[in-house]
Amino acid sequence: MYKILAYTVILILAVANFSFSQETPVLTAPELINSGVKKYNDKDFNGAITDFTKAIELDAKNLEAYFNRGVCYNSLQDFTNALKDFDKVVELDPKFNDVYNFRVNIYLKSKDYEKAIGDYDKIISANPKNEKAIMMRGKLYYAQKDYMMAASDFDQVIELNPQNADAYNSRGQANKNMNQNDNAIADYSKAIELNPALAIAYYNRALVYSFMQKFELAIPDYTKAIELNANDIDSYVNRGTARYNANDTKGACEDWKKAKELGSKEVDEMITKFCK
């Protein structure tokens, strides 16, 4: 068992054997770890790294020293060295689950989604009810266009927490990309029911209605998305297109011009062609 203490970031504090010698003692690995933890708490990350490195020199298999040093590197945004230390921790003890929470964030920053999913697998294996981890893994599957696996993860999140509006919205996205438009609309509608301020759910539902050429339903959803986010360029662009397809050229031009005012470049051709 490893003793874990909750600091701003989790660190491991070793139990030190303090020397009472009259001479200046040579610090043991546990004492160096304690010293490093204190320096970490004082935000002296480089000093802490020095102590943890010395502990590793004394004990090359000291998991606590590698983990703590990795956390310090992570705090300094030195993700290359942090990853090396976290990999060493996994090598020493693959069941030390705290390390995966740190390592997965490094993989996310570098967009190494395959490895991130692998670490989320381990996190979820240790705690099958980890709603946040399952949700994040689902979003990574979605980013990789593995919509079936994404939907499966969002199903699990909804089972764990039926009030999670984001999970319904995300499952709606997966369903849309699997051409299950009715299921997508049902998911977006449930997300809106749970969180009426979730602008992205209105926008996503509007896109599906537009695809289905149900412009009379799409336009109110784009409008609601704009009410919730007045600078939503995409909603102005797409509401303009829906209005044009609903034979409201005047309204379409108003939306496209507003999108241009907000910075859109894609509407220039439409304004030139359709707006006199």
Contact 142, 170 (CB under 8 A): yes
Contact 161, 192 (CB under 8 A): no
Six token digits for residue 75: 């705090």
pLDDT at 24: 55
Q: Are residues 65 and 115 part of one domain?
A: no
Q: Are residues 70 and 10 part of one domain?
A: yes
Six token digits for residue 94: 């693959």
Q: Are residues 185 and 161 part of one domain?
A: yes
Domain count for the chain? 3
pLDDT at 32: 97
Q: Are residues 211 and 188 part of one domain?
A: no
| Separation CA 180–CA 174 (nearest Å) | 9
Phi–psi pair at 199, nearest 5 degrees: -60, -40
Name all contacts of 70-74 with Cβ < 8 Å and 24+ positions apart.
70/99, 70/102, 71/9, 71/10, 71/11, 71/40, 71/102, 72/36, 72/40, 72/45, 72/46, 72/48, 73/49, 74/9, 74/102, 74/106
| Separation CA 113–CA 122 (nearest Å) | 14
pLDDT at 2: 52
Domain that holds residue 170: 104-194
Q: Give the total residue count for the chain.
A: 276
- Predicted TM-score of the model (pTM): 0.84
pLDDT at 9: 45
**Bridge pairing between strands 11-12 and 4-5:** antiparallel
Residue type at position 155: D
Q: Are residues 79 and 114 part of one domain?
A: no
Q: Are residues 85 and 4 part of one domain?
A: yes
Domain boundary among the residues 171, 194, 217 is at 194
Residue type at position 24: T
Contact 36, 64 (CB under 8 A): no
The packing angle between helices 63-75 and 29-41, to 10°, is 20
Contact 203, 172 (CB under 8 A): no
Domain of 135, CATH number, reads 1.25.40.10
The pLDDT tens digits of the residues spanning 6-33 come to: 444 445 555 444 444 445 568 999 999 9
pLDDT at 26: 80
Q: Are residues 128 and 68 part of one domain?
A: no
Q: Which residues of the chain have pLDDT under 70?
A: 1-25
Domain boundary among the residues 126, 161, 194 is at 194
Domain boundary among the residues 58, 73, 96 is at 96
